Structure 1
């Protein structure tokens, strides 16, 4: 059997642990979870699922897949956890699970990593003041300068289905910033780096030979010729023109309020939004619960769910594991595409 995918279970007080348990209880899995063993036993009892948890170490062979069996790389909680109740003492535990997953991927013990949701606020409250999210943490852990956050609906990843919403892949030029900081953070240099990563990784991880990318403007109506802002004229358009000259297929800058329509999206492989809430509300409206979050620009495959910790649902067994299942499937597909590209 090849290297497994590893799944970090995220915030222990949230729904991440039980989403992992639900999938293991329903299907024969060939991946391994990273979490506290006692936490997983307690959460399995709380939600009423029967799962045989098999403790392993990185590099150990994964047992034959069987419904109801969950291979686990144990990491110890700092304090016992109650569903729905955050505890800053366990922030270091959450980060340790990420560090173990990254190390396993880089050391050749895992093929890819998938992350269940964490809680940014409690990690910052624990003293990790610079923590802004999975994406930036993994960038620093892997020692790369730039990464790109991209979310994609299931039908964008596995083919268009009749009667379904348009497939969407939405990447972000800036990620977790206050809106007041976005314009200053958007430079020609940063935008060029993002577009190069996006185009290269659509080919590397998804097998799209010449991806077409639609690029949003920053301002309403894409600046309306400079009357509503000059970022399109001074930052975005010069970068697009320069990269088009190198052969990249880039449309824009386009007004975001009309870009997310069938006429514009029909032949587009991805949309680049300038900031978090410009593109992601549209994507989540189209495919919430059946989309994956993908980090581009890393030396490893990383995907995640499209939702948060849902503390109000934790421990009740009513959360939907659909997005986690999509994230796992996407990670597996990305590994296959990379292997095919190397062949």
Structure 2
């Protein structure tokens, strides 16, 4: 069976991205499941190999079929977009922000114009993006723009638990205001479509919003007015969805074999549950686009950048998960 091609982006080179990416390329099980190609800057690669005492060679390529895909050799697409005279670990940098965007842009180009199956991204920095003239707040928005998808879905996976999010980076007050019947119907429908693309079977569970699902309106009426009507509508349409299940028990139930995934109603509801279970192995997926993207769920960690202490486990798991779902790309739009 042909191994999938997975692009791994350097992310913000002033952070831990290059370190965790190159340490990932020393992991045998990564090469066992995929053909990884790194998108970055050769000069940064060489600096990282020296700084972190890594036994790695580089093979610069422009097409995926030029790669060696051998443990110990990094197949690198060199965008040559970092001036090392201005390079520094641990600092917000406009050139690093702009370069991080260009790595993502190149990965999407490889999907459309080569044989790339999926993208695994390392962290970027919102402030650096802005300083570099990139008017996006993060990966999801960048990828949505590059693939012409208005509202990609975010899903976390840890162990056999999968969690979607009705809202992401908004205030809690606004997140509550976004719990509306029509939005829930849309997200339930699209979440089930994406789970089918991933070949995941089972029922989608929908979380409640208020304590004990509001206790019939005593602690809030969103369940009565918005959530239950949305679920009933989807059930009448033949969708395999169940809920609402109170937020204090749904994630425990989500590990059951009958559950395909959970729709969390706001950012921290799902983040707290997954990261408490296993912080380093909680992987973020961006779905609903032509190309699948996985990501570590930690930041650029400027405070430890360049110190050779960054743990690559989340990056490794991200690449392995991208390979697991490599067939997702057959659903090209």
TM-score, normalization: structure 2? 0.90
Match of 1:196 among 189, 192, 195: 189
Instruction: Write the distance in 1 (CA, Å) between the matches of 2:216 and 2:83.
Output: 57
**Partner residue of 2:19?**
18
Instruction: Write the distance in 1 (CA, Å) between the matches of 2:15 and 2:211.
Output: 37
**Partner residue of 1:244?**
235
Deviates more, 1:131-140 or 1:34-43: 131-140
Instruction: Provide, for residues 28-70 of structure 1, a one-character-per-residue CA deviation record: whole Å limited to 9, x for no partner.
Output: 732100111101110111111021111111355211x322100
**Partner residue of 2:43?**
38
Instruction: Write the distance in 1 (CA, Å) between the matches of 2:224 and 2:41.
Output: 52
Contact 1:112 1:335 in 2 (8 A): yes
Deviation at 1:17, TM superposition (A): 0.7
Contact 1:79 1:90 in 2 (8 A): no
Contact 1:259 1:265 in 2 (8 A): no
Contact 2:39 2:76 in 1 (8 A): yes
RMSD, matched Cα: 2.2
Query: Are 2:153 and 1:148 equivalent residues in the alignment?
Result: yes
Deviation at 1:18, TM superposition (A): 0.9
Deviation at 1:114, TM superposition (A): 0.8
**Partner residue of 1:71?**
75
Instruction: Write the distance in 2 (CA, Å) between the matches of 1:328 and 1:132.
Output: 23
Instruction: Write the distance in 2 (CA, Å) between the matches of 1:56 and 1:214.
Output: 44
SS in 2 for 1:225: coil
**Partner residue of 1:272?**
263
Match of 2:164 among 158, 171, 183: 171
**Structure 1: 4+ residue segments shifted above 6 A:** none
SS in 2 for 1:117: coil
Instruction: Provide, for residues 176-224 of structure 1, a one-character-per-residue CA deviation record: whole Å limited to 9, x for no partner.
Output: 112222123333232222211211111111x124x31111122333233
Deviation at 1:88, TM superposition (A): 2.3
SS in 1 for 2:259: coil
Instruction: Write the distance in 1 (CA, Å) between the matches of 2:48 and 2:320.
Output: 24
Instruction: Write the distance in 1 (CA, Å) between the matches of 2:221 and 2:64.
Output: 53
Deviates more, 1:310-319 or 1:169-178: 310-319
SS in 1 for 2:215: helix
**Partner residue of 1:306?**
297
Instruction: Write the distance in 2 (CA, Å) between the matches of 1:109 and 1:336.
Output: 12
Match of 1:137 among 134, 142, 163: 142
Q: Matched residue pairs, number?
A: 324
Change (3 A) 1:331 1:3: closer
TM-score, normalization: structure 1? 0.87
SS in 2 for 1:226: coil
